[in-house]
Amino acid sequence: MLDWKNAEAPDTAMIEELAREAIAGLPPEFAGPASQVVLRVEDFASDEFLDELEIDDPLELTGLYDGVPMTEKSASAPQHFPDTVWLFRRAILDEWASRGDVTLGQLVAHVVVHEFAHHFGWSDDDIAAIDRWWE
């Protein structure tokens, strides 16, 4: 049993490790392209992101895709910044603690799949085939 008296909250490196495991677990046709997307883990979303999304509480945003979905990319319109999936550690930990019914790995994987859904332009059915979260 975990000794909670001496336990520390998972750090950004642990959240990144869980996210990379989730990316590697995507179907092969998506795992390769997903590995080309920049993955960033921060404690909180930046004020810029929060303002852009009109979110007041940084604990409400667990992840964000920042880029142009593959379904909208064009070779004639070069992109000047890399596609990036952002994960926000403190919001993820807050949701994990408040839910109490999933492992941290399951929650991180769910956030990762949701953000990559934006990158790949997946439909709700596409997401459900990969992430059985609601079952």
Q: What is the pTM of this model?
A: 0.87
Q: What is the pLDDT of residue 77?
A: 67
pLDDT of 95-134, one tens digit each? Answer: 999 998 899 999 999 999 999 988 888 777 777 777 665 4
Place of tokens 């929650």: 107
Q: What angle do CA 43, 95, 33 make, to 5 degrees?
A: 65
pLDDT of 42-71, one tens digit each? Answer: 999 999 999 999 999 999 999 999 988 877
Q: How far apart are CA 49 and CA 31, in angstroms?
A: 26
Q: How far apart are CA 21 and CA 99, in angstroms?
A: 22
- 8-66+80-130: CATH topology: Zincin-like (3.30.2010)
Of the pLDDT bands very low, low, confident and very high (cuts 50, 70, 90), residue 14 is very high
What are the boundaries of each domain within the chain? 8-66+80-130
